[in-house]
A = this chain, B = another copy of it.
Amino acid sequence: MKDYSSIINNINRYVSLSSEEEENLVSIIKTSRIKKKQFIIQPGFVCHSRTYIVEGAFRVYYLDKDGKEHTVSIGVEDWFVTDFQSYIDQSPAVNFAEALEDSLIFQMRYDDIEALCKKFHNLSEYFRLTTEKAFAFSRRRVISSISNTAEERYDEYVAKYPHIVQRVPQYILASYLGMSAEFLSKIRKQKMQKS
A residues neighboring B (CB under 8 Å)? 62, 64, 68, 70, 72, 84-85, 88, 117-118, 121, 124-125, 127-128, 131-136, 138-143, 145-147, 178
Do residues B124 and A135 form an inter-chain contact, with CB atoms below 8 A? no
Question: Which residue in B84, B125, B139 is a CB contact (below 8 Å) of A124?
Answer: B125
- Residues of chain B within 8 A (CB-CB) of A124 are 121, 124-125, 128
Per assembly, the copies of the chain total: 2
- Residues of chain B within 8 A (CB-CB) of A135 are 84, 131, 134-135, 138
CA distance A74 to B118 in the complex (A): 32
Contacts A84-B136, A85-B140, A135-B135 aside, 8 further interface pairs with beta carbons under 8 A come to: A68-B147, A70-B147, A88-B133, A121-B121, A121-B124, A124-B125, A128-B128, A138-B139
CA distance A88 to B139 in the complex (A): 13
Question: Are A72 and B139 also in contact (CB < 8 A) when A64-B147, A147-B64 are?
Answer: yes
Question: Which residue in B62, B132, B142 is a CB contact (below 8 Å) of A141?
Answer: B142
| Interface CB pairs A-B, < 8 A, 14 | A64-B147, A70-B147, A84-B132, A85-B139, A85-B140, A88-B132, A88-B133, A124-B124, A128-B128, A131-B131, A131-B132, A131-B135, A138-B142, A142-B145
A31 to chain B, nearest CB (A): 25
A29 to chain B, nearest CB (A): 20
- Residues of chain B within 8 A (CB-CB) of A85 are 136, 139-140
Question: Which residue in B125, B136, B138, B146 is a CB contact (below 8 Å) of A117?
Answer: B125
CA distance A136 to B90 in the complex (A): 12
Cβ-closest chain B residue relative to A133: B88
Question: Which residue in B136, B138, B143, B145 is a CB contact (below 8 Å) of A62?
Answer: B143
